[in-house]
Structure 1
Amino acid sequence: MNKKNVLVVDDSAFMRKMISDIINTSSSLAVIDTARNGQDALAKVKKLKPDVVTLDVEMPLMDGISTLRAVMREIPTPVVMLSSLTKSGADKTIEAMSYGAVDFIAKPSGSISLNIKDIEAKIVKKVEHATQANYHLVTKQTQKVDKNTYKPIISNRPIVAIGSSTGGPRALQQIITQLPTNLKAPVVIVQHMPKGFTKSLAERLDKLSNVSVKEVEDGDLIEQSNVYLAPGGKQFKVKEVNHQFVAEVKQDLPVNGHQPAVDVLFESISELSDCHPIAVVLTGMGSDGAKGIIQLKKKHPRTITITQSKDTCVVYGMPQSAEKTGLVDYVKDLENISEILVQKIPKKR
């Protein structure tokens, strides 16, 4: 089997050696070279044309964000960011996702992580997945082409639930920033992401959007025209208290390896007595969300289900699994999903 070539970029010689050794344990990957900073990396990407680049966020001379933007502009290549678990590191990582990075890995103990081998399996898995990603999306100029008219739902209690994983931050930005301030529905989201990074994502979306976006907290009222993002490391459910939607957020067991999990959110909404769910499954690896769609359709047959099209997914796994249930109403290009939501949901007066 031909191995995929990887370029490892980090300003620490120790980290370059450790990450290279970890990647080389994979039967499908081989480190072709390393780079010590962004300028060095850009030159080697052009010369070597690796299949994947692992890129440190914080480097001298040319930082990870600047390097990523240059790579995507000049020679688009799948990139996996490596970030420290600091607020600054998380903010820059979320920014990198919007510029086309396929995924990211959180270093367990800062820029120089002596215990990097603790996440060896995660590093290998994410780099392997990056070799299969539809990274050409970042160079594609998209525009809304859907001319359909969608009949509004007749309900006083619509609720939009969105699940996403690999490639999700960029997809969420495309959708959430197109929603109007008078949307007569709350939006609840599970994005597979570790603790700390979800808060940065919520803050970025809030700054860019007309609607209010926050990392949800236990006990929050789930209100119209607001967007609630599940925190990393906790499960997010919606329950009903005195005829109001309320968030239940707590650390629990992972479901299919995920916490937060899309299935947990979807299945909690299926238990609400009076609502009209709209469930959206976006780009991501695996099948999270498919079981939840089955439960939603079983308990609320009028549930509207939407998946992101294969052509616009970074990774088609989650939408494909949802579509295999036979319960998906619309398969749409990413740039057209917000249009369905806007037309389907009544507006506040």
Structure 2
Amino acid sequence: MPYKVLVVDDSSFFQHRLKEIINECPELKVVGIAANGQEAIEKAASLQPDIISMDYEMPLLDGVSAVRAIMAERPVPIVMFSSMTYEGANITLEALDAGAVDFIPKNFAEVSKNSDLLKRRLHEKLITFASQANIAPVRSTDELAAEANVRSQRAREKTAALRERIASRTAPTEKSAAQPHRPRSEKRNLKGKVKLVVIGASTGGPVALSDIITQLPANFPAALLVVQHMPENFTKAFAERLNRLSAVTVKEAQSGDKLAPGSVLIAPGGMQMMLDRTGSAIKIIAGDDRVNYKPCVDITFASIANFYHEKVLAIVLTGMGSDGCDGARILKDKGAVLWSQDQASSIVYGMPAAVAKANLSDEVLSLGEFSSRLISDL
């Protein structure tokens, strides 16, 4: 039986095209269309879809407000259709904070030209999140919220409840990584030894990174590099948002930026982040079309391995695929320590599962443990 999809968009053109594209996949079926946020709330309640595709700029009620309302009443996976502009990136980040699980860039040319890439991307995301949320019977929102490690606000609790419900089940594409794996080795003493922390993430990463970085003190003793799969414009908006919320300094990385304790540099979307020949500053290069991810965790991990060896703590967070696994192996061979996120707190247990399955994780931690461990261990 196909997963039920609710399409929310105020444009009749996008309504029609998205319905056509989604219904081309036999595992998906559009059961309703909403033209504004208020209608989305009503149809989410009456149709009880398995997943929702949501626009953000609509009359009566915008997409972010609709996400908050839906998550507060009946949590369901919501994928945002987002403009590639800087303003669109900011609104998308608000939607993710409100409870959306992921986003897809909204490109008129791709939709109108019947892009195969858009179809694959859309079908994959909708099936992934719909299947994860429907493998087992849904528990009550209160039960899920009680298990979540989130902020105290009720809406945030229910958002995290959905994340845990989705993350506790593995998508068909991640079946091989469904079982948790034991850490590779005993806990190591890192106090005063780690000079650089590097974090890789993809799907679910913006919320996970926010939960970790905003808890770090201004005098955090190590430099931090972040590789989050995001398009250009999004990483700049994301860095600025984190900087406003954090005691540490956060910025989108540029060539020449120096590594410094308490400073967080985020790899720019569409580019690759490496260390320069001195190992003390950042080098940003154009993303090669032969590389799937721009930025790519493997590339940054491998570049760091040439310099910092046992002074590196690498962290692999939630995300589809296995980016970071090859780079983690190189780092481990040089003596680095690696932590990975556990299945229960990951939106998608792909990237962290890959490093755990390869026996590269020194420790497997839940999302709520990372910030406290970084503070206490370093």
- The TM-score normalised by the length of structure 1 is 0.90
| Distance in 1 separating the partners of 2:88 and 2:144 | 22
Aligned residue runs from structure 1 range 207-246, under 5 A: 207-241=244-278, 245-246=280-281
Classify the secondary structure of the residue corresponding to 1:311.
Answer: coil
| Distance in 2 separating the partners of 1:152 and 1:12 | 54
Matched, 1:142 2:179: no
The alpha-carbon distance between structure 1 residues 266 and 73, as it changes in their structure 2 partners (threshold 3 A), is same
Q: Counterpart amino acid of 1:153?
A: K
| Distance in 1 separating the partners of 2:214 and 2:67 | 23
Q: Counterpart amino acid of 2:149?
A: T
Q: Counterpart amino acid of 2:2?
A: K
Residue matched to 1:313: 346
The alpha-carbon distance between structure 1 residues 267 and 134, as it changes in their structure 2 partners (threshold 3 A), is farther
Residue matched to 2:197: 160
Classify the secondary structure of the residue corresponding to 2:42.
Answer: helix
Structure 1, 18-27 or 273-282: larger mean CA deviation: 273-282
| Distance in 2 separating the partners of 1:106 and 1:293 | 29
Classify the secondary structure of the residue corresponding to 2:276.
Answer: strand
Q: Counterpart amino acid of 2:346?
A: C
The answer to which structure has the higher helix fraction is 2
- Residues 107 and 116, structure 1, Cα contact 8 Å, conserved in 2: no
Runs of 5+ consecutive residues of structure 2 not aligned to the other structure: 135-140, 152-186
Residues 279-321 of structure 1: per-residue CA shift (max 9 Å, x gap)? 101111011111111100112x2x2211111110110011110
Matched, 1:253 2:293: no
Residues 89-120 of structure 1: per-residue CA shift (max 9 Å, x gap)? 1101011111221110111249x964464622
RMSD after superposition: 2.3
- Residues 310 and 337, structure 2, Cα contact 8 Å, conserved in 1: no
The alpha-carbon distance between structure 1 residues 232 and 132, as it changes in their structure 2 partners (threshold 3 A), is farther
Residue matched to 1:22: 21
| Distance in 2 separating the partners of 1:306 and 1:52 | 31
- Residues 150 and 343, structure 1, Cα contact 8 Å, conserved in 2: no
Q: Counterpart amino acid of 1:343?
A: S
Runs of 5+ consecutive residues of structure 1 not aligned to the other structure: none
Matched, 1:324 2:357: yes
Residue matched to 1:39: 38
How many aligned positions are there?
334
The alpha-carbon distance between structure 1 residues 47 and 274, as it changes in their structure 2 partners (threshold 3 A), is closer
| Distance in 2 separating the partners of 1:308 and 1:36 | 38
The alpha-carbon distance between structure 1 residues 263 and 187, as it changes in their structure 2 partners (threshold 3 A), is same
The alpha-carbon distance between structure 1 residues 273 and 190, as it changes in their structure 2 partners (threshold 3 A), is closer
Shift of 1:133: 4.5
| Distance in 1 separating the partners of 2:59 and 2:114 | 21
Classify the secondary structure of the residue corresponding to 1:306.
Answer: strand
Q: Counterpart amino acid of 2:271?
A: K
Residue matched to 2:89: 90
Residue matched to 1:289: 324
Residue matched to 2:183: none
| Distance in 1 separating the partners of 2:132 and 2:251 | 29
The alpha-carbon distance between structure 1 residues 134 and 170, as it changes in their structure 2 partners (threshold 3 A), is farther
Residue matched to 2:214: 177
Q: Counterpart amino acid of 1:171?
A: A
Residue matched to 1:197: 234
The alpha-carbon distance between structure 1 residues 282 and 276, as it changes in their structure 2 partners (threshold 3 A), is same
| Distance in 1 separating the partners of 2:131 and 2:196 | 33
- The TM-score normalised by the length of structure 2 is 0.83
Classify the secondary structure of the residue corresponding to 1:279.
Answer: strand
Residue matched to 2:102: 103
Classify the secondary structure of the residue corresponding to 1:310.
Answer: coil
Residue matched to 2:184: none
- Residues 17 and 111, structure 2, Cα contact 8 Å, conserved in 1: no
| Distance in 2 separating the partners of 1:249 and 1:186 | 17
Shift of 1:256: 5.4
Q: Counterpart amino acid of 1:142?
A: N
- Residues 111 and 118, structure 2, Cα contact 8 Å, conserved in 1: no
| Distance in 1 separating the partners of 2:144 and 2:259 | 33
- Residues 309 and 331, structure 2, Cα contact 8 Å, conserved in 1: no
Classify the secondary structure of the residue corresponding to 2:344.
Answer: helix
Shift of 1:239: 3.2
| Distance in 2 separating the partners of 1:183 and 1:103 | 30
Matched, 1:50 2:49: yes
- Residues 58 and 64, structure 1, Cα contact 8 Å, conserved in 2: yes
> Identity of counterpart residues, as a percentage?
39
- Residues 134 and 315, structure 1, Cα contact 8 Å, conserved in 2: no
| Distance in 1 separating the partners of 2:289 and 2:199 | 18
Residues 147-201 of structure 1: per-residue CA shift (max 9 Å, x gap)? xx9844343x610010111111000000000111111111101111111111111
Shift of 1:128: 1.9
